[in-house]
Structures are given as C-alpha cells and as structure tokens.
Structure 1
Amino acid sequence: MQHIATAAGVTRGAIYWHFDDKGALFNAMMERATLPFECSLATQKDDDEVVALDDLRSMMLDIFRVTEQDPKARRVFEIASLKVEFVSELDAVRVRRSQSKQEWMDFVEKRIRLGIKGGQIRADVDPHVQALGLWSLMDGLIRTWMFEPDSFSLLEVGRQVVDTLLDGIRAQRAK
C-alpha cells in the first residue's frame, strides 16, 4: 500500500480512506480494467458465417498484439496473473479469471465446431481439448514473455506457434 500511495503522491491514510484493504483496492482496479482475453471476445462477431480457423487465428494474434503493445493492458495482466495471491480478500480475481477462461473456451469450442461442420477442421478433433490447448498455449506463452519481454517478440513467436497448431487441426484438402 505504501508503494501505491507514494506513486499516487498521497499518504497511506488517503488510500485507506477510499479502500478498506488491499483486496478492495485490487478489485476496484480490476473492475476498471479489461484483460486481453476479454478484449478479444468483445471484438468477435457471433455468427455462423465466419471462417473458423481464420477467426481463431485473428483472435489469438490480437491477444498477443494487445499484450505486447499496450502497456496498460500488459500491466494489468501482469498484476492479475503474476503478482497476486489468490487469498480470500482477492478471491474475486480468481473468480474473474475463471469466468474469463470459461467464456473464451466456450467461444473457441463453438468456432471449432463450426470449422468441423464447414469442413475446415478435421472431424476427429475434440473441440474442448483443442480449446483448452489453445488457452494453455496463449496463457503460457504470455506468462513466459512477461518474465523476459526482451527475449522474444510475443506477436511473432505467437504467430508461428498458433499457425503450427492450427495447421495441425486443419482438414486435408482434396488433391
């Protein structure tokens, strides 16, 4: 709390005047923030006319782009992912992350089902397993990048990894 007060140019007492504790302050910050995963869902169209693989690729690359290029989004994601203990006063963060993940998973599973139905994605692909794999890939790559952001370009490496993974579930074209 002292670090926050110093950065804001106020006393700790002023912080406590507005927030009961660290949890209340953190929850207020999270209410005003949009995480990159949530941002990507907000920009997607929910119609059956999309090209599933192109849509998934675009959404995932947008998450990497926002994380790498938007300092505010990156900072909030870093705090919410790497610098918080999911203790009782901050349980709202865990709940929000879980909800965000579930919404993203549901959306991606729907896209994969559309891709299977449209013949873009192999029929033997399990939508839930692939959605979980894509979530884990993105979450893990972002976390790895956040520890050493100068070690690689999140967007460029993300593009290569996403393209490889999506090629692996792509239906074979007739020769």
Structure 2
Amino acid sequence: MVRRTKAEAQETRERIIDAAERVFHDKGVSRTSLNDIAKEAGVTRGAIYWHFKNKHDVFAAMFERQRLPMESMANRAEDPNETDPLGKFREAMIYVLCQTVLDPGRRRVFEIMFHKCEFTAETDPLMERQREAFLDGSERTRRTFRNAIARGQLPASLDIERAVVQLHVQMTGLLYVWLLLPEAFDLQAEAANFVDCYINSLTHCPSIAGP
C-alpha cells in the first residue's frame, strides 16, 4: 500500500511538471499562474503545494528533469579514471544537440528558457538558478578539460577559462538560433560537425601566458 501511494504521488508530481511545461510554453513563464498549471494537470492548487513551494519551484523541477540525463553523461568525462574524457565530452555535447531535435519535451524546455522566460523582478529566483547552472556546468567542463590535458588529448597550454566561455557561447548560440529558425540548418545532421569544430579549435586556444 505504501509503495502504491508513493508511486501515485510521483505520478502526480510528474503530471504537474508535464502540465507546467506545456503552459509555460504556451503562455510564457511570467504570465503562467499556479491555477493555470493546476487546471492543465487536472489537480488542485493544494496538490501542487504538496510537491512544490511555488511556480518557480515547478520551473526548477522541469529544468532539472532535463538536466539529469546530461549530467549522467558528463560525469563520465569528469571522472579522472576515464581513459577517453574528450571522447565522452564529445558524445555528451552531440547528445544535447541531437536530443533537442528528437525529444519534444527537451525542445519545449529549451524554447521556454531561451524565448519564453521573461526575466523580471518576479522571476529573479529563476535567473539565480540559471546562474547556478552556468557556474556548475563551467566547473564540470573545467574538470573534463583538465582530465583531457592529463591524458594528452588537449595541449597543456590550453587556456581553460577561455575554452569554457567559448563552449557556452557556441552551444547557447547554436540552440538559440536553431530554436528561433529551425529551417536555417539541420541541427541533428550537423551536430557532430559543430562539436568537432569546437574541439579542434581548442588546440589553438593557448594561454595568454603560454607559448
């Protein structure tokens, strides 16, 4: 009985996140209310408060649900015992780009983040979560690049900080443009090429203090 109750509670939580994803996508984050989410999910506001503190907490859960599979792949590249950290990094980056095309849920979440999340005083908590995710992703990338340097896959002269910024710019720019104009280029077909171009550029990203 306890197991079934926990399963039902988890099912309700997922239904709320699914509903929020659809409503955020249709109306934008700032114009969405908890009542909108409750109506779409077919639950009461009380049911939402059982699982989440507020609308921003629902948004965070929606974001984390998409982030977890990416973190699982990134963990392999960060592992100092991994013999091919750069290869695992490449796989993770290609996965992110391709799944944005193939997974409607992931695409909706990215569209919400890039085009339908209006940052105002009310949504400051969302901006703070975005900053935290950026900083966490940056640190993960630093560990990966240090592993790749230790394995001789990247030059010791690599300016890691510059490479991290460049990665954020390239990945964010690719996703932003494709989500805005998906007919502009075939993201799935070009994903490996885009990632390989970035990785190849790292051999020409030396430290300012380096040779």
TM-score range, shorter chain: 0.7 to 0.9
TM value normalised by structure 1? 0.78
- Structure 1's consecutive aligned runs of 4 or more residues displaced over 6 angstroms after TM superposition are none
Could you report, residue by residue, the CA deviation over 1:52-109 in whole angstroms, capped at 9, with x for unpaired residues?
A: 2212111111111221111111111211221122112211221111111111111111
Aligned alpha-carbon RMSD (Å):
3.0
Give distance in 1, aligned partners of 2:179 and 2:119. Answer: 19
| 1:49 maps onto 2:78 in alignment | no
| Correspondence for 1:40 | 70
Q: Structure 1: where are the runs of 5+ without partners? A: none
Q: 1:75 to 1:81 in 2, by over 3 A?
A: same
| Correspondence for 2:135 | 102
| 1:29 maps onto 2:62 in alignment | no
Report SS of the residue matched to 1:62. helix
More helix as a share of residues? 2
Give distance in 1, aligned partners of 2:111 and 2:184. Answer: 17
| Correspondence for 2:189 | 156
User: Does the Cα contact within 8 Å between 2:62 and 2:109 map onto a contact in 1?
Assistant: no
Q: Which of 144, 160, 169 is the equivalent residue of 1:127? A: 160
Q: CA deviation at 1:157?
A: 2.3
TM value normalised by structure 2? 0.66
Give distance in 1, aligned partners of 2:169 and 2:56. Answer: 25
Give distance in 2, aligned partners of 1:49 and 1:119. Answer: 14
| 1:166 maps onto 2:199 in alignment | yes
